[in-house]
Amino acid sequence: LNKRGYPFSAYHLSCCLSIGVKVKADRRTHRSHVSYIDKSRNYYGAQGYPQAYQWAYNQDVPFAPLNKPLSECRVGLVTTSFFERKVDKDAVAGSAKKEPYAAKCDDAMEGLYNKDLFWDKDTTHTEDLDSYLPINRLREFAEQGRIGSLADRFYGVPTDYSHRRTSRRDAPQILEYAKEDELDVVLLVPL
Q: Rounded to two decimals, what is the model's pTM?
A: 0.66
pLDDT value of position 150: 97
Parse the chain into domains and list their residue ranges. Answer: 1-55, 70-189
DSSP secondary structure string, 18-81? HTT-S-GGG--SS-----HHHHHHHHHHHTT-SS-------SS------SS-GGG-EEEEEES-
How do strand 101-104 and strand 153-156 relate by DSSP bridges?
Answer: antiparallel
Rounded Cα–Cα distance for residues 77 and 136 (Å): 12
Separation CA 165–CA 172 (nearest Å): 10
DSSP conformation class of 6: P
- Vertex 161, ends 1 and 50: CA angle to 5°? 45
| Contact between 98 and 80 (Cβ < 8 Å) | no
Q: Which residues of the chain have pLDDT under 70?
A: 1-32, 83-97, 109-125
pLDDT of 1 reads 46
Residue 58 CB partners (closer than 8 Å, separation 6+):
none
The pLDDT, as a whole number, for residue 116 is: 59
pLDDT of residue 182: 97
Per residue in 110-143, pLDDT (tens digit) is 666 666 556 666 666 677 778 778 999 999 999 9
pLDDT at 11: 43
